[in-house]
Structure 1
Amino acid sequence: MSGMQDRSWWGREARATVALAYPLVLTNLAQALIPATDVVLLGWAGPKVLAAGSLGVNLYNACMIFGVGVMIAASPMMARALGQRAHNVRDVRRTVRQSLWAAVALVIPIWLLLWHSEGILLLFRQEPELAKQASHLIRPMMFGMLPLFVYQVLKSFVSALERPGWAFAAGAFAVFSNAILNYALIFGKFGLPALGLYGAGLGSTISNSVMAVGLAIVVTRHRHFRRYYLFGNFWRPDWARFAQVWRLGLPIAVTLGMEVTIFNAAVFLMGMIGEPELAAHAVAIQIASLCFMVPLGIGQATTVRVGLAYGRHDRVGVGRAGWAAFGVTMVFMVCSASLMLLAPRFLVGLFLDVHTPANAHVIDLAVAFLTVAALFQLVDGAQAVGAGMLRGIHDTAVPMLFAALGYWVIGFGTAILFAFHLGWGGIGVWVGLAAGLAAAAVLMMTRWMRREKLGLI
């Protein structure tokens, strides 16, 4: 009887996780589809434009993901507060307000950095013409980062209240507007000028702004959210809460930043190997990134579910929430790996015309990269949901060190060894990525299994 009750609890927790996760997965896909749409449209303009756009998008993403990491701190903070006391309006409002303050404080130095993107790319030994063209994309795109941060904080708010569907609705509308705007601005349609890469960046900024404004309207007008009065007394300082956001969020930001920058470093390595490898990597990494949105969304849901149990001081609930999410993640990653192995050319064909002879070499390379990507799907999912589990119990500093060891020491070192010293080229870079993700996954899941012995709960 006890075993049946345990299985019933696990089943209920898995269903609750999926119910919370699937709108977050769709929201993440919507966010990822904005730069992915840019890549698709730029691919229509030719491999050289695609290569320049890839450089620009990856540099932008490195800064953007770091900032989003700081904003993510709002999620476990609000979940714990609501676990301690339902309808904890004051604590939730303080967390949202100070997270928005952190967004403003962070975005200004990021803007200053990205304004000099051409010089940064040249420091990484990228082709001068590609670096110059990439800067034409980044300069208008970077101003959409602040509304994206605002959207992330508000998404954490509606997710902590277990109503993430509104974040998806705002994100889905932004994807639609981004596709139309970018098509018009890149190629000069609907009476608008043909701005190429600059148009792609401008369209993305407008879309991010639409996304943030849409969700802000929802949280100020909807009956489930408006009683929190999120934007009331916005200018009132709360330095203790502001510091707490940074104390919890900065390690998350560094962890995510190291994960994203190892993929960005892979882009730079591809640029050193050759233009076809760079273009193929741009396609393969977009496909892998879209698949990653699922474990990322499950990890975000896990942070909330674990955080609610953590706030209630429910050790059993913490464990159930974490392991149920892990099981759901593994099921999906097996499916995504199978798709990459069985239909790689179909997936690549979504980004490049497989019937164009000029694209043949790039397509073959992208298919080869996807084969390696399929092999690291399980460990990629494990490290993503493992990080979400640990964030739920406010454990972020040590996972940051795990990320540094796994992604950069093991992953980057392996990529350099296989790509250049052993002569594997682009495949060697992807083998290095797989090794880094595997190391991070093992370390994070080991820490989760030892959480009680380590005194984390």
Structure 2
Amino acid sequence: MLKNYTKEFRYNLKLSLPVIMGLLGHTIVQLADNIMVGQLGTAELAAVSLGNSFVFIAMSLGIGFSTAITPLVAEADGAGNKANAKSALKHGLVLCTILGLLLLMAILFCKPLMYLMDQPQEVVELAMPYLDLVAISLVPLIIFQAFKQFSEGLSQTKYPMYATIIANVVNITLNYLLIFGSFGFPKLGIVGAAIGTLVARCMMVAYIWLILKNKRKFHDYVTGFDLKKIEKKVMRKIINLGFPSALQMFFEVAIFTAAIWLSGILGKNPQAANQISLNLASMTFMFGMGLGVTAMIRVGNQKGLKNYKALRRIAHSIFLLTVLIEIVFAVWFLLGRYWFPSLYLDLDNAINLADNTEVIGLTAQLLLIAAFFQISDGIQVVVLGALRGLQDVKVPTFITFIAYWLIGFPISYYLGLETELKSMGIWIGLLSGLTASAIMLYIRFNYLTKKLITDGVT
């Protein structure tokens, strides 16, 4: 019985590893940013956290919306319909470009809110110029996402990975040169980190388009777009899938953003500890997210083939693999909870010694909780991927709202600001929301797949 699931592990990993590597690339750059910025001081680290909190909200909407392209391309690929796959990419690119520009304008419009959020004044002043440049980088990032989701829909997960790796090398190099003013470059501090991010994201778009254009297999998909011929039916289908998917990701990212803001109310050191813990948790989350993309691809393929028994078995194999991987990460966090935060801070700096020591202690407490929510977080993201593969997005959107904002956030707010738990209380709320989401999403998947099988399609 177990072998029916474990035999799928090899192919699941083959599909997911390039996705995971690409996603990890983004997080590793954030890790490098945080480590480099952390050498400047805890105020600079908190400023990057605050600036990115605005960008992450917008990014979640853009990335979430773009995921609508993958199941449409995967279903078309499973059915052998190349025209529909190209149409999904063309219309997806148009919508993602428009959305990227709208999100940029929204961030610039919302910038003054920083002064009304009860954040440390020093942190806000540092975050403002950083946010301007990182907000602009959203436009190329979301365009890249359209190409990425298309490529993954065709089960070609390695090309987005290549684009991400090259961009990350550029990003880290520019960060080193511009944050510290190395080799004669100007010393720009956290603004240098923002410039590195912007340049790297522009390169990602150029690289993935060139590599797909020059591959015979993909050339016809990514060239010869007739932008005068836009079909309302296709646009509506992508919007109907993409908007709920964007809200799902928004609801999750927004609660983590709320944790950043709540931590800022507690002070710059709790906010810095939250940023370090969130960065570490984000790295392990990318494994679950990569497996979630695999679930979306494979479930979409089986939906195109109308083989629902195989669909359910394959999905469960991905769920099982995710749980096993996340348990390993949970142990990793428990064992390294004091060592990991020390990587982000200059412990030899006598001026910041007291702040750095407090941040390490707070981070170790948060990583205790993060160790346990790894499992819930991994389960919820892969089940959500499987549901997107089924093109079921509306009910999961309500589920994620209930889990994060009716369950998780009230717990975070009360325990974080009204009890002595403070930072730990905020993260207990995150754990509660993720666990509720995982349970409810799985119940939904279980119901839908059993219904498809009993309806007698196969």
**TM-score of the alignment, normalized to the shorter chain, above 0.5:** yes
Q: Which amino acid is 1:352 matched to? A: L
SS for the counterpart of 1:224 is helix
Q: 1:376, 1:115 → 2: CA distance?
A: 33
Q: Which runs of 5+ in 2 are unaligned?
A: none
Q: 2:16, 2:347 → 1: CA distance?
A: 35
* Structure 1 residue aligned with 2:446: 449
* Structure 1 residue aligned with 2:157: 164
Distance of aligned partners of 1:452 and 1:158 in 2 relative to their CA distance in 1, 3 Å threshold: closer
Q: Which amino acid is 2:40 matched to? A: A
Q: 2:228, 2:165 → 1: CA distance?
A: 31
- Residue 423 (structure 1) aligned with residue 438 (structure 2): no
Distance of aligned partners of 1:235 and 1:32 in 2 relative to their CA distance in 1, 3 Å threshold: farther
Check conservation: 1:68, 1:149, Cα contact below 8 A. yes
Match of 1:43 among 38, 41, 44: 38
Q: For residue 32 of structure 1, report the CA deviation from its aligned partner.
A: 2.1
Match of 1:307 among 287, 300, 303: 300
Q: 2:264, 2:34 → 1: CA distance?
A: 16
Q: Which amino acid is 2:413 matched to? A: I
After TM superposition, list the pairs within 5 Å mapping 1:318-357 onto structure 2: 318-356=311-349, 357=353
- Residue 251 (structure 1) aligned with residue 244 (structure 2): yes
Q: For residue 13 of structure 1, report the CA deviation from its aligned partner.
A: 2.4
* Structure 1 residue aligned with 2:14: 19
Q: 1:110, 1:95 → 2: CA distance?
A: 22
- Residue 363 (structure 1) aligned with residue 356 (structure 2): no
SS for the counterpart of 1:193 is coil
Q: 1:213, 1:438 → 2: CA distance?
A: 39
Distance of aligned partners of 1:371 and 1:191 in 2 relative to their CA distance in 1, 3 Å threshold: same
Larger mean Cα displacement after TM superposition, 68-77 or 196-205: 196-205
Check conservation: 2:36, 2:176, Cα contact below 8 A. yes
Check conservation: 1:406, 1:436, Cα contact below 8 A. yes
Q: Which amino acid is 2:415 matched to? A: F
Check conservation: 1:118, 1:134, Cα contact below 8 A. no
Deviations 1:399-453 (A, max 9, x none): 1111111011110011122122222111100100000000000000111111145
SS for the counterpart of 1:181 is helix
- Residue 176 (structure 1) aligned with residue 162 (structure 2): no
Deviations 1:301-356 (A, max 9, x none): 11000000011111112102210110110111000000000111222122223455
* Structure 1 residue aligned with 2:208: 215
Q: 1:334, 1:112 → 2: CA distance?
A: 41
Q: 2:209, 2:449 → 1: CA distance?
A: 39
Larger mean Cα displacement after TM superposition, 306-315 or 100-109: 100-109
Q: 1:326, 1:454 → 2: CA distance?
A: 19
How many percent of aligned residue pairs carry the same amino acid? 28
After TM superposition, list the pairs within 5 Å mapping 1:97-112 onto structure 2: 97-112=90-105
* Structure 2 residue aligned with 1:392: 389
Larger mean Cα displacement after TM superposition, 354-363 or 309-318: 354-363
After TM superposition, list the pairs within 5 Å mapping 1:277-292 onto structure 2: 277-292=270-285
Deviations 1:87-140 (A, max 9, x none): x22111110111111112212221112214531222322233322321211101
Q: 1:229, 1:277 → 2: CA distance?
A: 46
Check conservation: 1:175, 1:207, Cα contact below 8 A. yes
Deviations 1:135-160 (A, max 9, x none): 21110111111211122111122212
Larger mean Cα displacement after TM superposition, 268-277 or 219-228: 219-228
Check conservation: 1:77, 1:95, Cα contact below 8 A. yes
Q: Which amino acid is 2:394 matched to? A: A
Q: 2:314, 2:113 → 1: CA distance?
A: 42
Check conservation: 1:118, 1:132, Cα contact below 8 A. no
TM-score (normalizing by structure 2): 0.95
* Structure 2 residue aligned with 1:438: 435
- Residue 382 (structure 1) aligned with residue 375 (structure 2): no
Q: 1:395, 1:203 → 2: CA distance?
A: 38
Q: 2:245, 2:116 → 1: CA distance?
A: 27
Q: 1:251, 1:383 → 2: CA distance?
A: 16
Match of 1:293 among 278, 283, 286: 286
After TM superposition, list the pairs within 5 Å mapping 1:44-193 onto structure 2: 44-85=39-80, 88-193=81-186
Deviations 1:211-267 (A, max 9, x none): 111111011001221132445324431221111111101111001011001000000
Check conservation: 1:117, 1:135, Cα contact below 8 A. no
Q: Which runs of 5+ in 1 are unaligned?
A: none
Check conservation: 1:333, 1:378, Cα contact below 8 A. yes
Check conservation: 2:403, 2:436, Cα contact below 8 A. yes
Q: 2:447, 2:393 → 1: CA distance?
A: 15
Q: For residue 185 of structure 1, report the CA deviation from its aligned partner.
A: 1.6
Deviations 1:337-388 (A, max 9, x none): 0000011122212222345533111111011110110011111111011101
TM-score (normalizing by structure 1): 0.95
Check conservation: 2:72, 2:153, Cα contact below 8 A. no
Q: 2:82, 2:230 → 1: CA distance?
A: 17
Q: For residue 201 of structure 1, report the CA deviation from its aligned partner.
A: 1.1
Distance of aligned partners of 1:126 and 1:224 in 2 relative to their CA distance in 1, 3 Å threshold: same
- Residue 402 (structure 1) aligned with residue 395 (structure 2): no
Q: For residue 163 of structure 1, report the CA deviation from its aligned partner.
A: 1.9
Q: Which amino acid is 1:55 matched to? A: L
Q: Which amino acid is 1:430 matched to? A: W
SS for the counterpart of 2:344 is coil
Q: Which amino acid is 1:222 matched to? A: K
Q: Which amino acid is 1:340 matched to? A: F
Q: For residue 35 of structure 1, report the CA deviation from its aligned partner.
A: 2.8
Q: 1:164, 1:151 → 2: CA distance?
A: 14
Q: 2:347, 2:67 → 1: CA distance?
A: 39
Q: Which amino acid is 2:152 matched to? A: S
